[in-house]
């Protein structure tokens, strides 16, 4: 089976789009400010894994990523940076 190569620009766009969709889904479900959610998500282990292309998390859908992030938060396993 042949694996197609994805350009770095296309991969970055895909990941950024997924982050947008994840943040929107969390905001809709919680009523929280998307700007706050974005900062928390980007600084989480899930957000870090998403931006690590070799993790292949970017292949998953946004709802799955939201579930991973929510599980991370429920475990108190977040690494949110102080801004």
Summarised one tens digit per residue, pLDDT across range 9-22 is 999 999 999 999 99
Between these two residues, 44 and 80, which has the higher pLDDT value?
A: 44
Which DSSP state fits 76? T
Contact (CB, 8 A) for 81 and 41: no
pTM for the whole structure: 0.84
Query: Measuring CA to CA, which residue among 24, 50, 48, 46 is closest to residue 37?
Result: 24
pLDDT value at position 5? 81
Summarised one tens digit per residue, pLDDT across range 24-60 is 999 999 999 999 999 999 999 999 999 998 999 999 9
């Amino acid at each position: 089976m042949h694996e197609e190569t994805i350009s770095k620009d296309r991969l970055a766009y895909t990941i950024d789009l997924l982050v947008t969709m994840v943040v929107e889904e969390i905001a809709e479900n919680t009523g929280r400010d998307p700007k706050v959610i974005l900062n928390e998500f980007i600084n989480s282990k899930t957000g870090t894994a998403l931006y690590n292309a070799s993790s292949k998390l970017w292949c998953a859908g946004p709802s799955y990523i939201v579930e991973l992030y929510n599980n991370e938060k429920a475990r108190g396993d977040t690494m949110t940076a102080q801004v």
